[in-house]
Structure 1
């Protein structure tokens, strides 16, 4: 799962049918327990094990229900038992029977809308298989469990525009199983430590296509306008990885060796599908080689989904993505913003799908690896600086909010959904990078290969990762895992260097915050006359550490954490002149130069040398740092603008990277600098970001040209430029151009924030919100509702005031849309009110 984000208890409750004389279960958690953090979230107890799951599914599009038949084979794990408990949420259970050859014997059962407790009628012993038949109706809209910031809904199966009420909008059905939502569309033991093979038969309208796990074995057309597809997956995987998707898709064929690699995109994107997903075969080869473990499954397909509840999901052999991965050529010319997500979900097919976290508390063995794969892919494909840029952003994401207070592996949490956070993802990936650098590449990747082979098609926890790495490397890693996996936080350091001309030694002092001490390897660069000497030291678990190194003269600069591997807060006590030297010495090291640029930017107003060095950084060989330096310029300072203008114009006109051109154009806009030739040329760029920045500048200079210039511009050019949105929105609202309303959804939902940053644009955004809430605009309203609930989940703990603002916005939206719906009888308006109310109900 690509976070973007977050999800009853993992304790297994023994039913009244259990045999107390055979076993005693551990205490189950009480819903009335005052503090959920006191609950020990154990690995789910295995009384019965799934063996094979066979499903026959049909669909009621009007009622948004799944009509299902299931044949599920199970066996006791160790102790004999005469009952089984299956997770089955919000279903109507029509029949439960024991299958015996071609005959069925009805069984007694109890059902409480969450679990199906079945009396098997006899006792089964260890490994003695039995097959149950269950006929049921799944009702996803009746599911009561809630989603989170990472996965914002949890009803398992989603009907998108099922009755075709939204014009020019696709009809789809797709599933989302993580965390425990597969049991919303078929009865199962919905736990990560269960594994089952599967076969699924899907009957649906003939005009669509389907995708599921495994291989499509057959498809046949039926006389009633439907067709039936039969999908079969012989290898075992966890229930949360079950998937099907149905809709109108173009299927673009690709290959890795003899394995089919298919891309399911909406027909409008078929010509650019290979630009979006086309690196997948190379990724499969790269990861297979790196891990010493070939891709383990029989195919790999990737599908997009409208209104998806997260970023993407690694359903085994059939990954599902948010439709935002579908980009037009004018976006792809800048960069493929989906590429890191493609890598992330693919890597899960080793870490998560092949070897699965035994419990949500050990989610790190799934998500931390998938997070780190993003670094590995960027490093392989685009170089270390691109990878380090990504890592720098991931580090900032982890440090934001309450991440530093949480253990990476934790068995105490409010909800399993809370595990999908910046610790399991960001911090886990950062820690793996540290572990790789400590062990060296050969030992690290051979250790990962051993971990995969030792636990393939099974479950694992962090301790098994440690054992595999220790076995390969011969090094004890308890100190590392105890510190980074089973505890929280990161070092907070202050570093100072002093040179003694008499002894010709430089002394580097590393002070730790005594509130929490760590031990770790630490790289220090001493730069003398432009020549760098790397010193490797060990910082002990104490408040003060001091190291001395030879230096023929006072160093140009001393750089702590010189390889930028350690996850830490470092207060590097040195003058800005040293940071200027650090920038020069930091060739090939993105983070070393970023830290220098930050210091130079902080001093640009008072230190001419810092300002000159910052402007010189606009020439950085790495495009990401050219953009970073542009963003750090103080464009309200006439002195800085005068010095930077020439270079900004050069970048806007000639930089080989369109994102740099766009950043430079936006900087010129902010500084009120207009060069007609540059802006006119840029307005015809194939890049949407460059077009948007250029048009903003032209319209700012010539407001009367707005209609003429934007008449034939792609909507995405406008959507990605807040200035253009603010300029065009009043006309759209005045003319009631409802087709443009979805373009305003984000600004409308977040108008309170925009008001704070820019009162004038905030007023326009508020007008857009009021307009959307008082019109029949299904797509725009749905987007507003989704943005409100998603942002609220993210912000409520980080910024309570922001959470209150979003909740107030949602309440206002419900009231406005409700009042409007009373004036015009419309089924779509009723649904819009329901969507807004649903968003508001999540704001707790």
Structure 2
């Protein structure tokens, strides 16, 4: 699953926000953290699951029949416990000689405790028949930062009331929500064959795991589709989707590779997903194991509760990957493609070999996270890979409570808590370090062995360690103990001294963190008289003094020459050394480090030279970084930078870089640039248009308001955000419908981005119904995400709006005062309801 609060433009955007609130509220003495979360005990094993389901679109019910075959794991047993959340159970029988023999059971709304007809041994299979009704909308369940709901089965716009939204049904099983739509042993260490028959309106398309083996008319405008898996997979990876989808058919070798999209986006299927066969081939080659399933499909659905989900053979994506050709002009690797790469890698790590418990989620999610960097390097080069892993590194280092959590941990408040920046970003960085330490060939040979040894079963970090040790011949206990079974990271202070008399370079390494000392193998590169010399060293103590004989004083000593260490570094180089590093060291992170060290020192000629050169850096992300940080308040810098910024707005091949340059120029309020901004409004790029509108608004907001009206008919992404920002700051009640529509259609993170401006806009609106309707929307959002502390954020803003209405009422005439007082009372009531909500 991707929930990257892991993938910052969408998935972890919300999670990053809510984490900042949640982290502050998590008590250190939470009693739940003292509970040992054992790997689930296996009493019975799933063997085969056969489902026959129908849907009630009006009630949001699923009517199900199930034939589930099991066997005792080892010890004989005469009982069975199945997870079954919030269902009506009408029949549980054992199937004997084609007959259903009723069994006794006890049901507490979460689990079925079933008394079998006899004691079975591990050599005996038995099959139960169950008839049930699933009622997902009546469940009282909570989600997580990664998965904001956990009711398993979702009916989207089932009555067709929203003309702008398709009618769909889809499922979400991770972590243990499949048992909200069929009884099962809902644990990741279970594997089962499966067959699902779905009876649906004939006009709709279905998708499930495995192969579509039959489609049969079912009378009265209905059809029954049957999907079958020929290899076992975990219950949380079961999936169904039903709706009006267009299928684009592709293939890899002789295997189906299909893309399911809404009809409006079908023309762009190849642009969105078309690299998938190449991606499958790349991962198959790197892992030495061909894609292990009979097909691979990807489907995009509305109102998804996470980023994407790696259901076996049938990945489900949230709508953010579904884009038009214009939207894709502004895309970058982290906006969709990295998600597609992430979910595909799960087909090996997570589906083919599945974590045995949520404590070991790293063997699923850390690998999928790492795979994003792997594909970025392969398709776009080392800079893209370096930028991506650096995003992960920063996401982890900037998380306030991440340093207290082990990667593998058996103590957590809730299993959903495992889907965090440690499991994803930190885990991905750790695998990148391990790959560097072992070398490319040994690392991937070790992954191949791990996959083959645990094929179609379960794995954990210790099995990964043993496989890598067997291949490489190296002991890795030290690595796994500190990175997998320990918490935190090194805080590394680096100092230098050159002794001319002895021609000796001293490097002083100090780990300043409290607690454990990390063992750190690393490369140190010395740049001497135009040549690079590399030395491999190990840091094993809190403080090390290293000395190196060199021919002459080096221009640069580059500690961690491969730029893989997951560490908070304080690197005390001189300005001149950082300048040399930018122009001579080869990696993205070399240049990024130099830029960050020098951006605040642009009065220095060398620093200025770096920032100006970075405006032309070969990697678009560093060009953008330079644009956002070039000091245009300095006449000297501005004089040198302006020609290049102007050139970028016209000629840069990357639209996000163009947009950044337009925003930078807009802040200067130069009337001579107005023509440039107006011309940019004609761009096909929404990002460029949005930046141009912002730049025009800085100098002439009234003119920008008029121009925004003409852009309303075709707006997406950044342009929509720019129009909303303009309307919420300069608009009036006439612009409220556009802002409301944009807010309603936005994802969770985008809603939070515009909420403050939206609420401020309501301060100008006197119509009570208009205000109260919007307050209801904010209340709903606050309650939906209350478990993450979002309610505090929303209540604070609503409190400000209430005070504003009360102040306005003091100077209003009697009629208006009555309206404003009523609005203030309504807001106060909404705040109370948010507080009271469970």
Give the TM-score normalised by the residue count of structure 1: 0.87
Pairs aligned (count): 785
- What is the deviation of 1:647? 1.3
For 2:472 and 2:481, the matched residues in 1 are separated by 18
For 2:763 and 2:254, the matched residues in 1 are separated by 54
- What is the deviation of 1:259? 0.8
Partner of 2:458: 459
Distance 1:736 1:704, change over 3 A: closer
For 2:276 and 2:800, the matched residues in 1 are separated by 45
Partner of 2:144: 148
Contact 1:748 1:765 in 2 (8 A): no
Partner of 2:822: none
Q: Tell me whether 1:38 sits opposite 2:26 in the alignment.
A: no
151-160 or 140-149, which deviates more:
140-149
Partner of 1:291: 287
The 5-angstrom pairing of residues 17-416 of structure 1 reads 35-335=31-331, 337-399=335-397, 400-416=399-415
Distance 1:748 1:457, change over 3 A: closer
Q: 2:615 is paired with a residue of what secondary structure?
A: helix
Select which of 675, 686, 689 maps to 1:688. 686
- What is the deviation of 1:67? 0.7
For 2:471 and 2:480, the matched residues in 1 are separated by 16
For 1:90 and 1:534, the matched residues in 2 are separated by 62
Contact 2:759 2:801 in 1 (8 A): no
Partner of 1:826: none
Distance 1:51 1:741, change over 3 A: same
Deviations 1:713-735 (A, max 9, x none): 55544754644322235787623
For 2:409 and 2:101, the matched residues in 1 are separated by 44
Contact 2:690 2:721 in 1 (8 A): no
Partner of 2:644: 647
For 2:234 and 2:374, the matched residues in 1 are separated by 26
Partner of 2:509: 510
Q: 1:724 is paired with a residue of what secondary structure?
A: helix
Contact 2:170 2:242 in 1 (8 A): yes
681-690 or 628-637, which deviates more:
628-637
For 2:768 and 2:415, the matched residues in 1 are separated by 38
The 5-angstrom pairing of residues 643-792 of structure 1 reads 643-673=640-670, 674-702=672-700, 703-704=702-703, 706-708=705-707, 710-712=709-711, 715-717=714-716, 719-720=718-719, 722-729=721-728, 734-735=733-734, 738=737, 741-745=740-744, 763-764=760-761, 774=771, 785=780, 789=784
Distance 1:727 1:709, change over 3 A: closer
Deviations 1:3-52 (A, max 9, x none): 1369xxxxxxxxxxxxxxxxxxxxxxxxxx97111111111000000000
Distance 1:274 1:173, change over 3 A: same
* Structure 1 residue runs without a partner (length 5+): 7-32, 797-801, 817-832
For 2:406 and 2:770, the matched residues in 1 are separated by 43
Partner of 2:18: none
Partner of 1:820: none
685-694 or 411-420, which deviates more:
685-694
Contact 1:161 1:172 in 2 (8 A): yes
Q: 1:495 is paired with a residue of what secondary structure?
A: strand
- What is the deviation of 1:284? 0.4
For 1:277 and 1:611, the matched residues in 2 are separated by 42
- What is the deviation of 1:687? 1.5
- What is the deviation of 1:811? 9.1
Distance 1:661 1:157, change over 3 A: same
524-533 or 253-262, which deviates more:
524-533
Contact 1:351 1:365 in 2 (8 A): yes
Q: Tell me whether 1:536 sits opposite 2:533 in the alignment.
A: no
Contact 2:86 2:110 in 1 (8 A): yes
For 1:5 and 1:623, the matched residues in 2 are separated by 23
Distance 1:752 1:64, change over 3 A: closer
Distance 1:723 1:332, change over 3 A: closer
Distance 1:839 1:397, change over 3 A: farther
Q: 2:727 is paired with a residue of what secondary structure?
A: helix
Distance 1:98 1:427, change over 3 A: same
For 1:60 and 1:390, the matched residues in 2 are separated by 44
Distance 1:730 1:768, change over 3 A: farther
Q: 1:300 is paired with a residue of what secondary structure?
A: strand
For 2:121 and 2:624, the matched residues in 1 are separated by 65
Deviations 1:60-114 (A, max 9, x none): 1111111111110000000111110000000000111111132110110000000
Deviations 1:316-359 (A, max 9, x none): 01111111111121121232521000000000000000000000
Q: Tell me whether 1:623 sits opposite 2:620 in the alignment.
A: yes
Partner of 2:548: 549
Q: 1:294 is paired with a residue of what secondary structure?
A: coil
- What is the deviation of 1:620? 1.1
Partner of 2:492: 493
Q: 2:190 is paired with a residue of what secondary structure?
A: coil
Contact 1:729 1:768 in 2 (8 A): no
Select which of 593, 607, 612 maps to 1:610. 607
For 2:748 and 2:318, the matched residues in 1 are separated by 21
Q: 1:735 is paired with a residue of what secondary structure?
A: helix
Q: Tell me whether 1:634 sits opposite 2:622 in the alignment.
A: no
- What is the deviation of 1:669? 1.4
616-625 or 407-416, which deviates more:
616-625
Partner of 1:30: none
- What is the deviation of 1:636? 4.7
Deviations 1:107-135 (A, max 9, x none): 10000000001111211111311110110
- What is the deviation of 1:597? 0.4
Deviations 1:159-206 (A, max 9, x none): 111111222211111100000000000000000000001111111122
Contact 1:81 1:124 in 2 (8 A): yes
Distance 1:341 1:579, change over 3 A: same
For 1:416 and 1:659, the matched residues in 2 are separated by 38
Partner of 1:805: 793
Q: 1:83 is paired with a residue of what secondary structure?
A: strand
178-187 or 124-133, which deviates more:
124-133
Q: 2:219 is paired with a residue of what secondary structure?
A: coil
- What is the deviation of 1:643? 3.2
Q: Tell me whether 1:4 sits opposite 2:4 in the alignment.
A: yes
Contact 2:782 2:794 in 1 (8 A): no
- What is the deviation of 1:710? 4.1
Partner of 1:574: 573
- What is the deviation of 1:452? 0.3
Q: 1:168 is paired with a residue of what secondary structure?
A: coil
164-173 or 743-752, which deviates more:
743-752
| RMSD of equivalent CA atoms | 3.0
- What is the deviation of 1:788? 7.6
For 1:155 and 1:311, the matched residues in 2 are separated by 16
Contact 2:403 2:488 in 1 (8 A): yes
Contact 1:788 1:810 in 2 (8 A): no
Q: 2:687 is paired with a residue of what secondary structure?
A: helix
Q: 1:297 is paired with a residue of what secondary structure?
A: coil
For 1:206 and 1:772, the matched residues in 2 are separated by 42
For 1:67 and 1:138, the matched residues in 2 are separated by 7
For 1:611 and 1:762, the matched residues in 2 are separated by 42
Contact 1:251 1:264 in 2 (8 A): yes
- What is the deviation of 1:249? 1.0
Contact 1:744 1:768 in 2 (8 A): no
Deviations 1:449-482 (A, max 9, x none): 0100000000011000001111111111111111
Distance 1:690 1:752, change over 3 A: closer
